[in-house]
């Protein structure tokens, strides 16, 4: 009973007591959720005009109302399973306006990481293959935004422009659905490459490794990264 009372008291203090000086913010990505990215952010004051923000989240594009199976599936493939993945980022914010901490216009350099797994199927020469796919991404950049604290408690964080560079690494592992002794996986490398033939930038970066029981294909590439969105939270 005493334990429950302490927890209740803590919650009441958090939500009902006016904040004298907000040094921390916990917030959730509002707009990101529409893209199938569900994240929780924790921002803490480094000094009067600077802060650090850590973002942790789970992403599953198939849960987005704006994406469907066709949107995220190359034309040659059939999506069998989307396993989701994680995304995380670290920001260092410089607030250039606002008299109070964690408020006003800010500039924030950031570093980010994400990974995701999916399983597709592909038919080549009347043979069905499973295609286990992994996407890893790392990136750096900077964003411009504005954070408002309402009634000394609730926060609205609008990041209206962010740009950077991301490095993506895609791994495709082809395996016969029905194993065949002595099958030469080298015979399907051209077919796998043709999946990306319409995008020359990607096509020329493909690397293949032929193994006895699979074909592993790597696709490393750089691509611009952009950020825009809204987060809602609580300051304390």
**Of 95, 138, 141, 83, whose CA–CA distance to 114 is shortest?**
138
pTM above 0.85, yes or no: no
Residues 30, 233 contacting (CB under 8 angstroms) = no
Q: Is residue 14 part of a domain?
A: no
Q: Is residue 193 part of a domain?
A: yes
Per-residue HEC secondary structure of 4-68 comes to: HHHHHHHHHHHHHCCCCCCCEEEEEECCHHHHCEEEEEEEEEEECCEEEEEEEEEECHHHCCCCC
β-partners of residue 200 are none
Q: Is residue 82 part of a domain?
A: yes
Which residues of the chain, if any, have pLDDT below 70? 1-21, 68-70
Q: Is residue 7 part of a domain?
A: no
Q: Is residue 15 part of a domain?
A: no
* 76 φ/ψ angles, rounded to the nearest 5 degrees: -80, -10
Task: Name the token pair of 132.
Answer: 């286990």
Confidence at residue 37, expressed as pLDDT on a 0 to 100 scale: 86
Q: Burial-class residue 73 by CB neighbours within 10 Å (0-12, 13-18, 19+).
A: middle
Q: Is residue 180 part of a domain?
A: yes
Confidence at residue 176, expressed as pLDDT on a 0 to 100 scale: 97
- How many domains does the chain divide into? 1
Q: Which helix (H) or strand (E) holds 201?
A: helix 200-203
CB atoms within 10 A of CB 128: 12
Q: What region, left, alpha or beta, does residue 63 occupy, with left being phi > 0 and alpha being psi -120 to 50 degrees?
A: alpha
Give me the domain span that covers residue 65.
Answer: 22-235
DSSP 168: E
**Of 104, 109, 105, 130, whose CA–CA distance to 119 is shortest?**
130
Report the alpha-carbon distance of residue 36 to residue 77 in Å, rounded: 21
Q: Is residue 4 part of a domain?
A: no
By DSSP bridging, strand 50-59 and strand 207-210 are unpaired
Residues 6+ apart with CB under 8 A from 226: 162, 163, 164
């Amino acid at each position: 009973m005493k334990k429950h009372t302490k927890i209740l008291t803590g919650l009441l203090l958090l939500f009902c007591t006016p904040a004298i000086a907000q040094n921390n913010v916990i917030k959730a990505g509002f707009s990101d959720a529409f893209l199938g990215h569900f994240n929780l952010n924790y921002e803490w004051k480094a000094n009067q005009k600077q802060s650090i923000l850590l973002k942790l989240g789970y992403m599953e594009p198939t849960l987005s109302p704006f994406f469907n199976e066709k949107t995220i599936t190359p034309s040659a493939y059939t999506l069998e399973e989307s396993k989701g993945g994680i995304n995380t980022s670290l920001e260092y914010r410089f607030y250039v306006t606002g008299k109070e901490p964690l408020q006003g216009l800010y500039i924030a350099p950031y570093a980010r990481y994400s990974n995701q797994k999916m399983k597709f199927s592909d038919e080549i020469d009347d043979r069905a293959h499973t295609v286990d796919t992994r996407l890893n991404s790392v990136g750096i950049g900077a964003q411009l935004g504005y954070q408002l604290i309402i009634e000394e408690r609730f926060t609205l964080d609008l990041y209206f422009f962010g740009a950077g560079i991301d490095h993506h690494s895609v791994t495709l592992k082809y395996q016969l659905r029905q194993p065949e002794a002595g099958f030469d996986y080298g015979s399907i490398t051209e077919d796998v490459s043709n999946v990306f033939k319409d995008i020359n930038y990607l096509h020329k970066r493909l690397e293949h490794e032929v193994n006895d029981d699979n074909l592993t294909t790597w696709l490393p590439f750089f691509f611009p990264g952009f950020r825009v969105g809204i987060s809602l939270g609580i300051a304390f």
